Structure 1
Amino acid sequence: MSRNQGDRIAADRPDTPALIGVTAQGSTTLTYGQLEAAVQSRAAQLAALVRPGQTVGLLGLNSPEWLVAFYAIQRAGAVPVPVSHKMPVETLGHVLRDAAVELVLADEQTRALVPSTGAALLDLGTPAPAASFTSVVPEPHDPAMILYTSGSTGRPKGVVLSQASHLWVIDQTARTVPPGSTRVLISAPLYHMNALTNSQRSLASGATIVLLPGFRPDVFVDAIVEHGVTELSGVPPMFAMLLQRPELLEGRDLSSVRGIYMGSAPAAPALFDQLRTVFPNAEILFGYGTTESGPVVFAPHADGLPTPDGSVGVANPAVELRLVDAAGRPVERHGVLEIRNPALLSGYHNRPDVPVPVTADGFHHTKDVFRVDEHGFYFFAGREDDMFTSGGENVYPRSVEQVLEAHPAVDQAVVVPVPDDVKGAKPVAFVTLRPGHRADEQELKAHALDHLEPYAHPRRVWVVAEIPLSSTNKADRAELTERAAGLLEGP
């Protein structure tokens, strides 16, 4: 089997739709045969422009052409660097310079965003001349892609992932499906691990990807109905936004959906119940993964015990997991998750100043805090670096959010710290309510005080129409922290 990730596309169904790209103008379809031809043509074009191992920027909205380019860059022996089109221009320029990108593939919507770094531009929307191409054969340790983190706490870091690392991920997640049986809707950004690895899994399995340029609740629902989608994937805030628009769901036939795959962010308990009501035929799977160690971490219980809502499952038998305390000592029930598997990053590109978060014995220190119940089910409990001190006590925002989300009226909650002259910092919260429910600030504060230590309860609770999302469709904590500061200052 090929050692090049770019070759992992099902080859036994040339007439089956591989990609259905949906835009405001309509939809376009590439069969597996057409996809293979397009990838070979683009790879041949790129092989004449780039050196083996050279980085190539990829900047565009989700589209079949984006995925064609991603696979073609790998086949040509180069290293794709997917870049967020939502980055500020200054940050985008930093990423392209940091990755030493000399060629950028961009589309009509993003071409103007490319800063003047000296990199050449190639239009994603213009097909490459027809050509056949034999993939470059890389070494297992060669870089296969560089994925830049969002940079919410500083300059974005380029996570280098080897050919071997994500070939292992594809082998663990891809299961061949009957031609035409599975249609996967992807609307999360392809520059993020969630959507990208789901695309790799789907194309290796022989499924059909229904690809949206981005997430919009109305377009999302229309795509399900029009294309008979069987699987949904994305981050929980996307689904929460969808459920906040019940008028889009009423009277629509959503019975084709058999599976819903969520990950990359916390999910409130109310979300699971609401999804079961809207998608009665769907099994809901809530997963976890990191850019640095991949999405293969947890699995269903071997004895068939049902996974509780909010749990990511039990330890996957293909990986090694452990929880550690602040001193790095193993603990049993509550601690920071560490992962050892073949998907670990090779390092951070061009960042000798940033320690690689891998222990001496080969475990990725995720900074994610989990608790484990008596059956071995893991529950996300917060981020090690989200934790803040209030009056000398440690406050984990996710733990406070979970209490707020247990209120019957609350849909989502986000807790952020604000400065306090006495305590140093204090928690405040933003919440959205479930459709048709009501609750005011005093009721929600009282609920929190009934279930939390006094130091951890949010001093203010603001009810908002929606939670703002970052470029990776997660709750934008930085924006909410800034908003909270403004609200506390008053007019």
Structure 2
Amino acid sequence: MLRQTANKKRQGAPRRRMGDTMNLGRLLSDVARRLPERRGLVWGAQSWTWAEIDARVNALVAALAARGLGKGDKLLVHARNCNQLFESQWAAFKLGAVWVPTNVRLTPPEVGYLARNSDAEALIYEDAFPEHADATGLDKRIAIGQPRSGEDAYEALVAEHAGAQGFEAEVSRNDPCWFFYTSGTTGKPKGGVLTHGQMAFVVTNHIADLMPDTGPEDVSLVVAPLSHGAGAHALPQVARGACSVIPGTTAFDEAECWRLVEEYRVTNLFTVPTILNRLVQHEAVDRYDHASLKYVIYAGAPMYREDQKEALAKLGKVIVQYYGLGEVTGNITVLPRELHDLDDARMPLGSCGYPRTGMEIAIKAPDGRRLGPDQNGEICVRGPAVFGGYYKNDEANAKALQDGWFHTGDLGRTDTRGFLFITGRASDMYISGGSNVYPREAEEVLLSHPAVGEVAVLGVPDPKWGEAGVAVAVLADGQEADEDKLLTFLDGKLAKYKWPRRVFFWPELPKSGYGKVPKHLIRQTLYARGDLQEGKGP
């Protein structure tokens, strides 16, 4: 009887229909109607009101439609931060197309791969990257700047279609709006399918959990690529009518960032720990007024305790941490500004925070069992922020999406209060003499040494122990240290099986386009330089 009743309920339940979800592009349309004359975007010496931004986006939508693009078509975009990159995102959304931004640090063959993998129909690219454009093999090309033969000029198209009527395609919750490509630290990059319904939740969640009082009086500084995390951060700014400021310099310039904070009374910014460290440690932080800052949000990698303290000492209680991957668009945990403190006793040390509103975290064993507090396992998450899967990659989907959970590939544990502690990537963990070793533990201790500016610990093959750890350290300015001093420093602070066997000193650590330290590249470089030899261990 119960089963019959349940079946009847399912039969009578309303079905989702096409057009059952707001097109994400309406966020821009709405703010342009509500705040037409308020400044919405600044790039260098130029600025645009919300009405002007929306008009330019509508013109681009009309231009793309005139060239045969429509709902579901993939629009590849390769450009550094600029107003056109910002506009292309909203144009793709309104058209019902899929925005496929690239990382400008990619090589032409890598961009060519993204074009083929995404089934891109057209390309918008900055004219500084002609080889990248050619590698895509696409015929429909729009150049930001000077077009070449057979290409359209972005600004000419916007001018040609000026005054175009606003348009927002009808979409459903699961219709894709953005392919968020992974950084590809192992294998080829995978295209995470972000959808209109998912991203509507992400925008709401970012406002609720990261910067809850954001409104038209706020200003956001863009210091990371809009093609990835900063692009997601820009969406709630638009939703709340907050202006975004893009530095006019092509290279990252700490002094220019602080000057803009003072000039525009910037209230929030999104960055990664490595960039936040550079901002805090630069002398310009003391030359410019940054009292307007309310939220300095960092994500993308763990921030070590010594770096947290330095940021708090310089900026005050404004830093906010979140943990999340592109596949859930940052929505896993939050450690709000009120839980950041210089006093170790007043914050959950080493934690990246508690679950985001509407999201659930589980720590799982390899056999799928859900583990209890203080047990280490894989971090899994479910909720409305989980993406629609990887584009054309059934194998990756089967691995990442199991039993209704997204499996992050990160390792961690929760405490009895639900705070999450990341112990490393599953791929970073190594097994030495039968014991699991999580490199982050050694990294935390080594970074507390005054001579160490940056450090990465990783496992390498060892004939005796199976795997053993090595450390690559970057010394802080004006500091000296050697291998013996750093290893001795670990004594009494870390179990000896967790110690790295060797310490190498480099002038800098390699960084990906997302500010992360790719340990596979460090490992390759150690062998290529002859610091390590195959089969011999460290």
The answer to whether the superposition gives a TM-score over 0.5 is yes
Note the C-alpha offset of 1:438.
4.8
Pairing 1:5–2:48 present: no
Larger radius of gyration: 2
Q: Match of 1:238?
A: 275
What secondary structure, in the 3-state scheme, does the structure 2 residue paired with 1:474 have?
Answer: coil
CA distance in 1, matches of 2:395, 2:445: 38
Q: Is the 8 A contact 1:401 1:413 kept in 2?
A: yes
Pairing 1:488–2:527 present: no
Q: 1:437 to 1:255 in 2, by over 3 A?
A: farther
Q: 1:419 to 1:268 in 2, by over 3 A?
A: same
Q: Match of 1:149?
A: 182
Note the C-alpha offset of 1:285.
0.7
Amino acid at match of 1:287: Y
Note the C-alpha offset of 1:37.
1.0
Note the C-alpha offset of 1:262.
0.4
CA distance in 2, matches of 1:154, 1:98: 14
Map residues 64-103 of structure 1 onto 2, 5 A cutoff: 64-103=83-122
Note the C-alpha offset of 1:357.
4.1
CA distance in 2, matches of 1:242, 1:300: 20
Pairing 1:120–2:140 present: yes
Which residue, 398, 403, 419 being the options, matches 1:377?
419
Note the C-alpha offset of 1:263.
0.5
Give a deviation string over 1:79-124, Cα, whole Å, max 9, x none: 1111112112222111101111120001122343221523421123
Which residue, 42, 46, 56 being the options, matches 1:38?
56
Q: 1:304 to 1:211 in 2, by over 3 A?
A: closer
Q: Is the 8 A contact 1:389 1:424 kept in 2?
A: yes
Amino acid at match of 1:488: D
What secondary structure, in the 3-state scheme, does the structure 2 residue paired with 1:195 have?
Answer: helix
Note the C-alpha offset of 1:374.
4.1
What secondary structure, in the 3-state scheme, does the structure 1 residue paired with 2:263 have?
Answer: helix
Q: 1:178 to 1:387 in 2, by over 3 A?
A: closer
Amino acid at match of 1:20: V
What secondary structure, in the 3-state scheme, does the structure 2 residue paired with 1:287 have?
Answer: strand
Unaligned 5+ runs, structure 1: none
Map residues 298-313 of structure 1 onto 2, 5 A cutoff: 298-299=333-334, 307-313=347-353
Q: 1:220 to 1:469 in 2, by over 3 A?
A: farther
Give a deviation string over 1:231-274, Cα, whole Å, max 9, x none: 12111011223345x33334332222222100111111111111
Which residue, 326, 346, 356 being the options, matches 1:291?
326
What secondary structure, in the 3-state scheme, does the structure 2 residue paired with 1:53 have?
Answer: coil
Which residue, 55, 59, 71 being the options, matches 1:52?
71
Q: 1:203 to 1:356 in 2, by over 3 A?
A: farther
CA distance in 2, matches of 1:458, 1:348: 36
Q: Match of 1:320?
A: 360
Pairing 1:279–2:298 present: no
Q: Match of 2:495?
A: 453
CA distance in 1, matches of 2:259, 2:473: 28
Note the C-alpha offset of 1:54.
0.8
Give a deviation string over 1:454-485, Cα, whole Å, max 9, x none: 23211222344433210111113233223322
CA distance in 2, matches of 1:483, 1:445: 22
Q: 1:98 to 1:304 in 2, by over 3 A?
A: closer
Q: Match of 2:244?
A: 209
Amino acid at match of 2:40: A
Which structure: greater helix fraction?
2
What secondary structure, in the 3-state scheme, does the structure 2 residue paired with 1:3 have?
Answer: coil
Which residue, 472, 479, 482 being the options, matches 1:440?
482
Note the C-alpha offset of 1:375.
3.4
Note the C-alpha offset of 1:198.
0.3
Note the C-alpha offset of 1:382.
0.5
Note the C-alpha offset of 1:42.
0.8
Give a deviation string over 1:16-51, Cα, whole Å, max 9, x none: 2211113xxxx2111111111111111111122213
Q: Calculate the TM-score normalised by the size of structure 2.
A: 0.83
Q: Is the 8 A contact 2:115 2:136 kept in 1?
A: no
Q: Calculate the TM-score normalised by the size of structure 1.
A: 0.91
Map residues 259-278 of structure 1 onto 2, 5 A cutoff: 259-278=295-314
CA distance in 2, matches of 1:292, 1:188: 18
CA distance in 1, matches of 2:77, 2:367: 40
Note the C-alpha offset of 1:360.
4.3
What secondary structure, in the 3-state scheme, does the structure 1 residue paired with 2:120 have?
Answer: coil
What secondary structure, in the 3-state scheme, does the structure 1 residue paired with 2:25 have?
Answer: helix
What secondary structure, in the 3-state scheme, does the structure 2 residue paired with 1:418 have?
Answer: strand
Q: 1:53 to 1:28 in 2, by over 3 A?
A: same
Q: Is the 8 A contact 1:69 1:124 kept in 2?
A: no
CA distance in 2, matches of 1:373, 1:438: 38
Could you tell me the percent identity over the aligned residues?
A: 28
Amino acid at match of 1:277: A
Give a deviation string over 1:146-204, Cα, whole Å, max 9, x none: 1111111001111111211111111222357443x211111211222x21110111111
Amino acid at match of 2:254: P
Which residue, 15, 38, 45 being the options, matches 1:16?
38
CA distance in 1, matches of 2:349, 2:293: 19
Q: Is the 8 A contact 2:453 2:475 kept in 1?
A: yes
Q: Is the 8 A contact 1:418 1:484 kept in 2?
A: no
Amino acid at match of 2:292: S
CA distance in 2, matches of 1:32, 1:21: 14
CA distance in 2, matches of 1:171, 1:247: 36
Which structure has more relative contact order (CA 8 Å, sep 6+)? It is: 1
Q: Alignment RMSD, CA only?
A: 2.6
Which residue, 208, 219, 228 being the options, matches 1:183?
219
Unaligned 5+ runs, structure 2: 1-19, 146-153, 341-345, 534-538
Number of aligned pairs?
482
CA distance in 2, matches of 1:343, 1:262: 19
Note the C-alpha offset of 1:428.
1.3
Q: Is the 8 A contact 1:176 1:206 kept in 2?
A: no
CA distance in 1, matches of 2:322, 2:417: 17
Q: Is the 8 A contact 1:86 1:471 kept in 2?
A: yes
Q: Is the 8 A contact 1:144 1:162 kept in 2?
A: yes
Q: Is the 8 A contact 1:241 1:466 kept in 2?
A: no
Note the C-alpha offset of 1:420.
2.8
Q: Match of 2:169?
A: 136
Q: Match of 2:6?
A: none
Give the ranges of 4+ consecutive aligned residues of structure 1 lying more than 6 Å apart after TM superposition. none
